[in-house]
Amino acid sequence: MSTQAATPAPARPATEPAARATGLGKVYGEGETRVVALDAVSVEFGRGRFTAIMGPSGSGKSTLMHCMAGLDSITSGSTRIGGTELSGLTDRQLTRLRRDSVGFVFQAFNLLPTLTALENITLPMAIAGRRPDRQWLDTVVATVGLSGRLGHRPAQLSGGQQQRVAVARALASRPEIVFADEPTGNLDSRAGSEILGFLQRSVRELGQTVVMVTHDPAAAAHADRVVFLADGRLTDELLAPTAEGVLDRMRQFDTGARTS
Ligand code: ADP
């Protein structure tokens, strides 16, 4: 168990995944209200890969993401971001790891209304007292198609544009991994597919690692891999998914659930 610095060293073994859970268990409540949200989940998210997490409502998708991102405590097992074991960290180290090594994109954008798009994008780094890498920032802004909108405030932007700002903010610090929780849930299908395209480009062209929770087979088809959860357990995975392939797999689960 490591209690070393929260920021992973720049030189990392090429084979080391961006994030890993081993035997991860998460229990909420006690007695009659006890809920096993995650039951011994072991999963790796490879560097430079785009993974979708799918499963019925209540299957543990958000809990898995929150535990792996260090936003929620775990009951058993272990979680790592890069080479860093989360349970070995002090609160301060964990805060630093989340700030420096993890990016988040939420369904509700979560932008500050009084700041411009650019200020929203660079806010986490400003809080950390870090100067943004200008070249990287320009690349990210160009990749998500925000050039020309940087001086606008969130209220002056469409939902799709606001989510682009949130994606750029998540990528700005060049994190080890980006977790996206239903990032297209509040968008119409055109804006949604644009956001999915940007996430895909951030993986393919910028080498970022993205893990996305979604219930939409078409969204999941943008990923390189889909992992399926049911009742807090990892049940299946699909590589190079298509929307039809994902739908088929979901139908099999439904049939299995009805006949079991
Ligand atoms: P999903 O994201 O797949 O919909 P969740 O991870 O939100 O599923 O929830 C998994 C299970 O854990 C559900 O049964 C849910 O009711 C329960 N759960 C989630 N968060 C809490 C919490 N804060 N307190 C108690 N139970 C929770």
pLDDT by residue (tens digit) across 148-202? 899 999 999 999 999 999 999 999 988 999 999 999 988 888 888 889 998 998 8
What are 106-122's pLDDT values in tens digits? Answer: 888 899 999 999 999 99
Ligand 1 atom nearest residue 55's Cα: 3
**Nearest residue (CA) to ligand 1, atom 6:** 60
Q: Token pair of 235, please?
A: 């049940």
What is the spatial distance between Cα 152 and Cα 207, in angstroms, rounded to a whole number? Answer: 28
Give me the mean pLDDT over the 65-77 stretch: 95
pLDDT tens digits, one per residue of 30-55: 999 999 999 999 999 999 999 999 99
Supply the pLDDT for residue 147.
81
- Distances in whole angstroms, Cα of residue 257 to Cα of each of 38, 56, 222: 19, 11, 27
Domain ranges in the chain?
48-73+90-259
Q: Count of alpha carbons within 13 Å of 235, Cβ hemisphere only?
A: 18
In single-letter form, the type of residue at position 177 comes to: I
How far, in Å, from the CA of 59 to the mean position of ligand 1? 8
User: At CA 231, angle to CA 226 and CA 233, rounded to 5?
Assistant: 55
Amino acid in position 80: R
Ligand 1 atom closest to residue 29's alpha carbon, by position in its atom list:
25
CATH architecture of 48-73+90-259: 3-Layer(aba) Sandwich (3.40)
Mean pLDDT, the chain, whole residue set: 89
Least trusted range by pLDDT, from 14-18, 138-142, 201-205 = 14-18
Q: Which atom of ligand 1 is nearest to the CA of 66?
A: 6
Alpha-carbon separation of residue 167 from 148, 157, 208 (angstroms): 16, 14, 12
